[in-house]
């Protein structure tokens, strides 16, 4: 029996600062394979090579991963500044219309970090270029030093809406997560429901209201230690159930209030 196929939206990358490549973190593939029970397929996120229609017919679901480049602010009506950082406009051109098409069709996807931000922008929302510069906000960026384990260590709580989607999925209103991002949601897009917040008020968990399929997205990185982490595992397991249902032609598994 063939596993469902999950397209992992990759990033443009330069090997040795000169050789163009498409890259995806191994931990994303591992989480999809080991916890979701699906076959990970790295997608070259560039409209020169793939189309939204081809991707949707080839894959049963998608993971919109994190990445150092940010969504270009032109997609939410702002000018680019130094604070907005680097961009991957080829990925923007694939990811944003793909998200809108998946929402409409009910095909499952999971957004992570940059992917979480892409979902908000795709639905008409806006982003802050740098969370740590806002009054009263914490520094959510990856620690500059330390081992990989130290960079991905759990650093703050996320509190979910009482009785909401994430509360029901996790079986707890408050969980402990890592944090490795600079940007964050400023204004939520149309139908974007913010279902979880960090202690400083930063949105951390969202879904699309009324969508017929799985649309959960998180600002943290659940792919790290996904098989063992009590917060990451139920998220990837639920996503796995959704992509299997899609592959089998069942009704889309929507998680909504």
Residue of 63, 113, 68, 121 lying closest to 92 (CA atoms): 121
pTM (predicted TM-score): 0.95
Q: Tell me, what CATH number does 224's domain have? A: 3.40.50.880
Asked, for residue 253, whether it belongs to a domain, the answer is: no
Asked, for residue 137, whether it belongs to a domain, the answer is: yes
Pairwise CA distance, residues 210 & 167, whole Å: 18
CB atoms within 10 A of CB 97: 14
How many separate domains does the chain show? 1
61 DSSP 8-state letter: E
Asked, for residue 254, whether it belongs to a domain, the answer is: no
Residue by residue, pLDDT tens for the chain (257 residues) are 699 999 999 899 889 989 999 999 999 999 999 999 999 999 999 999 999 999 999 999 999 999 889 999 999 999 998 888 889 999 999 999 999 999 999 999 999 999 999 999 999 999 999 999 889 998 889 888 888 888 899 999 999 999 999 999 999 999 999 999 989 999 999 999 999 999 999 999 999 999 999 999 999 999 999 999 999 999 999 999 999 999 999 767 666 54
3-state helix/strand/coil string of 179-227: CCCCCEEEECCCCEEEEEECCCCCEEEEEECCCCCCCCEECCCCCCCCC
Confirm if 159 and 196 have CB atoms less than 8 A apart.
Answer: yes
Asked, for residue 257, whether it belongs to a domain, the answer is: no
Confirm if 40 and 4 have CB atoms less than 8 A apart.
Answer: no
Asked, for residue 256, whether it belongs to a domain, the answer is: no
Range of the domain at 175: 5-247
């Amino acid at each position: 029996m063939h596993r469902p196929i999950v397209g992992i939206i990759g990033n443009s990358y330069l090997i040795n600062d000169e050789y163009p490549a498409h890259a995806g973190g191994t931990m994303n593939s591992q989480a999809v394979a080991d916890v979701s029970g699906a076959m990970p397929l790295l997608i070259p996120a560039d409209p020169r090579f793939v189309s939204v229609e081809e991707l949707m017919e080839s894959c049963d679901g998608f993971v919109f991963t994190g990445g150092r480049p940010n969504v270009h602010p032109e997609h939410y009506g702002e000018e680019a500044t130094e604070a907005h950082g680097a961009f991957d406009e080829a990925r923007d051109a694939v990811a944003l219309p793909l998200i809108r098409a998946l929402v409409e069709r009910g095909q499952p996807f999971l957004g992570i970090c940059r992917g979480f931000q892409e979902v908000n922008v795709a639905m008409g929302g806006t982003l802050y270029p740098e969370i740590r510069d806002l009054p009263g906000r914490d520094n959510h960026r990856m620690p500059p030093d330390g081992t990989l384990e130290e960079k991905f260590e759990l650093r703050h709580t996320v509190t979910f809406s009482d009785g909401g989607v994430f509360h029901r999925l996790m079986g707890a209103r408050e969980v402990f997560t890592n944090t490795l991002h600079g940007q964050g949601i400023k204004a939520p897009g149309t139908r974007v429901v913010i279902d979880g917040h960090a202690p400083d008020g930063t949105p951390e968990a969202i879904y699309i209201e009324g969508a017929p399929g799985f649309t959960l997205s998180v600002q943290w990185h659940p792919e790290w230690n996904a098989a063992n982490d009590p917060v990451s595992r139920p998220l990837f397991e639920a996503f796995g159930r959704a992509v299997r249902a899609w592959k089998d032609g069942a009704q889309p598994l929507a998680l909504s209030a």
